[in-house]
């Protein structure tokens, strides 16, 4: 069992078992071990000796803590009670964030809590959201296959140009991401296909908002399309019979109209 330094326990003449339990690293007690966070102090904190994470709280920002795993991994979190329920909200790894950045994030989360929001519930909702691939599958199944003859083109367009985003949560896709993708595809594959990709994304998000309860924004909405040149298209051999049949029918209809006008 690893205890706090003697100077902490010496604050009382005979530390009670309860105080000793609070001082034990890795204890799940709600007793808060506070210190003024500095990088040097956090790096010197030892990992717990049991299977529980140890928590140390910042003396400056309410609820900000550093969680230390038995393997020594350090993670900034915010621990607060929201609507009477304790919530631990992950802010980010100690290795990736400065202390000031973690404090800034914690203060933003505290502001949301003060306004009656629950940031932890929002994060859980995002985790439960569709990925972009799941949204496409829903879009094809519930809408495109019944209402669009070109649904196979939608599938091909997604697989060819949006495959890299298939695991993204739909709430994580922002307008600047779509604008950048639109420009990239326009430069590398042409303006026509770039516009079709944005149109597909916009249709998917509109359908999610309209019919499937998604409350986020449409990141592909009102993105200015590239000006397209009209493309010459040539019929292949399989399309020629239907083309000539259509011409013949149109000719017969026109002849009938001409005859009726002559009389």
Task: Round to whole Å and give the CA distance between 172 and 182.
Answer: 17
Of 76, 32, 68, which is closest to residue 50 (Cα–Cα)?
Answer: 68
Q: What is the pLDDT of residues 148-178, one digit of tens each?
A: 888 999 999 999 999 999 999 999 999 999 9
Q: What is the pLDDT of residues 3-32, one digit of tens each?
A: 444 333 333 344 444 434 433 444 444 345
Across the beta sheet with 54-58, the strand order is 34-35, 54-58, 64-68, 74-82, 85-93
Task: Round to whole Å and give the CA distance between 251 and 258.
Answer: 11
* Strands annotated E in the chain: 34-35, 54-58, 64-68, 74-82, 85-93
Class of domain 6-128: alpha beta
Task: Specify whether the CB–CB gap between 75 and 67 falls below 8 A.
Answer: yes
133-150 mean pLDDT = 90
105-134 mean pLDDT = 87
pLDDT at 212: 82
Pairing of strands 34-35, 54-58: parallel
In the chain, domain spans: 6-128, 132-211
Q: What is the pLDDT of residues 180-194, one digit of tens each?
A: 999 999 999 999 999
51 Cβ contact partners less than 8 Å away, ≥ 6 residues apart: 26, 70
């Amino acid at each position: 069992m690893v205890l706090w330094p003697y100077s902490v326990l010496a604050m009382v003449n005979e530390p009670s078992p309860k105080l000793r339990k609070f001082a034990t690293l890795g204890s799940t007690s709600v007793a808060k071990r506070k210190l003024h966070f500095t990088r040097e102090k956090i790096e010197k904190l030892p990992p717990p000796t049991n299977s529980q994470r140890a928590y140390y709280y910042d003396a400056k920002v309410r609820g900000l803590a550093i969680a230390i795993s038995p393997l020594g991994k350090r993670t900034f979190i915010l621990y607060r009670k929201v609507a009477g329920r304790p919530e631990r909200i992950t802010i980010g790894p100690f290795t990736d964030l400065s202390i000031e950045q973690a404090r800034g994030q914690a203060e933003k989360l505290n502001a949301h809590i003060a306004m009656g929001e629950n940031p932890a519930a929002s994060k859980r909702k995002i985790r439960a959201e569709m990925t972009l691939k799941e949204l496409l599958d829903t879009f094809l199944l519930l809408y495109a296959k019944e209402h669009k003859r070109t649904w196979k083109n939608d599938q091909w367009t997604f697989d060819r140009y949006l495959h890299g985003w298939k695991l993204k949560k739909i709430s994580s896709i922002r307008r600047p991401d779509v604008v950048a993708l639109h420009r990239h595809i326009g430069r590398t594959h042409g303006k026509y296909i770039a516009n079709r990709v944005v149109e597909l994304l916009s249709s998917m998000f509109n359908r999610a908002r309209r019919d499937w309860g998604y409350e986020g924004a449409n990141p592909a909405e009102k993105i200015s399309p590239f000006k397209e040149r009209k493309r010459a298209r040539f019929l292949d051999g399989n399309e020629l019979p239907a083309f000539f049949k259509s011409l013949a029918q149109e000719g017969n209809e026109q002849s009938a109209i001409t005859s009726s006008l002559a009389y």
